[in-house]
Structure formats: structure tokens, C-alpha cells
Structure 1
Amino acid sequence: MTTQISKTEIQQIFHSQTSNRFYKFREVQARKAIPCEVVVTVINGEIETKNVADQDSVVVMNITTKSREQHIISTTKFASRYQNGENITEDWSTFQPIGEVDAMEWFEDSVEFEAPWGELMIIHKGDFLCGIPDSPTDIYRIARAEFFDTYSNQPKTSSDETITISVKEYDELVESSIFLTCLENAGVDNWSGYSFAKELLEEYE
């Protein structure tokens, strides 16, 4: 049976250890939450935690991870952690992160602890225990693979230009990119019309 520790205990553990600053660099999709909807965060088939939305909630989905896990945060926190976050709507849209965390690797056995939103959260050996700078009570877990996929110890530079597009447009672009790769692997560059298609592309550009 997994050991349970209190919110106070996990905060004491985190603040007594050395942590490092990391910066989120992967885009996410997000929408306004429906009041009272329950969002269950699932990582590799295991329930990490769950949360119930209120009228001031946003549902965030990590679109670059294998689990494409979802979680809930407040509209205020979302606006402070994502570019143009104040423009959140009921529709899924893509947002670029500007948030950062202090994080430490968890070397102990698995434990469950009370997350900032009042629900239990599990952390395993090798995962990361994270805290929001200047918010000492916001302590939570990020699974190891998801952490390295979405956070870097190097901040994004101001030269990293970004845009916001809809989920539909994003999915279409990804599908088109994958299909183009498949065509090239199948030898489409040997097709008699390939050079003409490249010329048409240059005209569009």
C-alpha cells in the first residue's frame, strides 16, 4: 500500500531540499472549463490525480506528451503562465508557455500527498516534485518522461517567435507533415511532377 503524507509534509520536504529552475517550452492546448466538470489526469494508464472545475477554471492539455494528459488551473494562473492566456475561450486553442518551476528529482519510494487543489496525487521514484516560484504552497508532481518532454533548464529567448492557432489547424498541419514525410520515404521525389510541384510552392512563397 502506498504511503500517504500530508500537504504540510510535502511542502516541508520540498523546501528543505535543493531545487533547480526549469522553464516550460512545449505548447499546450487549452479551453475554459465547464463548471463542475471533473478532469482526471492519467499518465501511462495510471491516475495521477483529479480535479473539479469551478467558474474560474481552465482545462490544459499537454499535446506533445504520449499521454496527452489534462489538468485544471485557475484563469489567473493560466494568464500568467501562457502567452495571450487572458484570451482563453470555450474552444480548444494552442498557447505558448511562459511559465517556470523549481523542481527536484524524487529519489524515495512512491507516496501519495495532498495536491494544492485538495485531491491526492501520487509521485514515484524518478519523478519530479515541483513548486511555483513565489508560491510556497503550490507543490505538485510531474512524471519523469512528461517533465523532460515539456521543461528545459534553459529559458526561451525573445527571438523564439510563436503564433496561436486552433486545434483543428494544428492537427491538419501535423497530419500534412506526416503525410509528406511518408511520400518522401516512398520516393515521391522521383515522380515526374515533383519538380513542377516545387516550382508551384516557390510561387506561393
Structure 2
Amino acid sequence: MLSQDELKERVVPLMKKQGALYAKKLNVLARKAIAGESIRTITDSGLETVNEAEEGDFIVTNKTSAGESYILKPDVFQEKYRLKRTGEGGMDEYEARGKAVALELTKKMLAQLGLPDHFYFEAPWKEPMKACAGDFLAAPPDFSEVYRIGRKEFFETYSKAE
């Protein structure tokens, strides 16, 4: 399994040269997390990763066909989302404002990176994350971390930034 630093060392130079800037186009549902709450992120291709919430974190649920949920730190959440509508049952709707630089993991790209068609790496929250040919690797514009977005979820969620 590649560490987050090893993955960034391999991927970020290629992201800077060949990646494209994307904007999140879908609103999300979100709520404050309960400290210690465990979230399993399940995409169309199966279990992506597991993460445990800390005090102040947010649970975010994408409005995709998989409805995958994940955890964000409060500062990241506030930067990437703006309240649109208060909801029922504790889930409010937020407008996405975040952008990401992304790179498709084609077979050619995987070969360039020296990676197999399926591989695991350490997610920014220190848990294993699986990536496969056809998925996307994404990073915030400052390239501070790299994470995986499943192919189907990527196209449901992002569009090229203008």
C-alpha cells in the first residue's frame, strides 16, 4: 500500500501537467457528525473507505445514484459548501463551491505512474483507499492531499471548471 506522501510524490507532478480543474456541480446533504461515528463510503463500485468522525466534523452525503457519504473537517466543509436550505431530520442541503484537480487513471496513466490496474493507498484520513483503472485521482488546487473518486460518481458530481 502506498502512503499518502508516496502517492503525492508520484501523482502530483502529473496532475500539475496533465490534470484538469473541475468544479463540483451537485448540491449535497450534510449534518454535524457525532464524535466517534464511523462512516463507510460505499460507491457504485463497492466499499471505497472507512473513516471515523471527530468532534466538529461534518457527514456529507452526495446526491448521486450511490448516495455515498464521507466525513469532512469543519474548515474544509465551510470552504467547500454554503447552506442552501434547512432540511428535516438533521440533514441540510448545501451548495457545492469546491474545485479539484483530477486525473483519470487510464491504463496508460497507471503504467506511467508504475501502478497496477488495482491498488491501495493511504487516504488523507490514514485509512486504506482502493483505486482502479477508470477511476479518478483528485486533489484540492493546493495539492495538499490526493484521494480517489469512482468513475461513475465523478461524472455525476463534477464538470470542467470554467
User: What TM-score results when the alignment is normalised by the length of structure 1?
Assistant: 0.68
Tell me which residue corresponds to 2:19: 19
Tell me which residue corresponds to 2:2: 5
Structure holding more helix per residue: 1
Matches within 5 A, 1:159-178: none
Structure holding more strand per residue: 2
**Contact 1:111/1:122 (<8 A) preserved:** yes
Task: Describe the superposition over 1:22-74 as per-residue Cα deviations: whole angstroms up to 9, x where unpaired.
Answer: 000101000000100000001126110010000020000012x1110000001
Task: Describe the superposition over 1:78-134 as per-residue Cα deviations: whole angstroms up to 9, x where unpaired.
Answer: 11001139x9xx810111101000000112311100011010101110110000112
User: What TM-score results when the alignment is normalised by the length of structure 2?
Assistant: 0.86
**Contact 1:116/1:137 (<8 A) preserved:** no
Other structure's SS at 2:144 match:
strand
The percentage of aligned residue pairs carrying the same residue is: 33
**Cα displacement (A) at 1:154:** 3.3
The runs of at least 4 aligned residues of structure 1 exceeding 2 Å deviation read none
The one-letter code of the counterpart of 2:12 is H
Where relative contact order (Cα < 8 A, 6+ residues apart) is larger, the structure is 2
1:154 aligns with 2:161: yes
Which consecutive unaligned segments of at least 5 residues does structure 2 have? 111-116
Distance in 2 (alpha carbons) for counterparts of 1:46 and 1:15: 26
Distance in 1 (alpha carbons) for counterparts of 2:36 and 2:132: 29
Aligned length: 149
Other structure's SS at 1:29 match:
strand
Distance 1:7 1:154, change over 3 A: closer
What is the aligned-residue RMSD (CA, Å)?
Answer: 2.0
1:82 aligns with 2:81: yes
**Contact 1:113/1:122 (<8 A) preserved:** yes
Other structure's SS at 1:84 match:
strand
**Contact 1:105/1:126 (<8 A) preserved:** yes
**Contact 1:37/1:53 (<8 A) preserved:** yes
Distance in 2 (alpha carbons) for counterparts of 1:150 and 1:45: 15
1:35 aligns with 2:35: yes
Distance in 1 (alpha carbons) for counterparts of 2:45 and 2:121: 19
1:138 aligns with 2:138: no
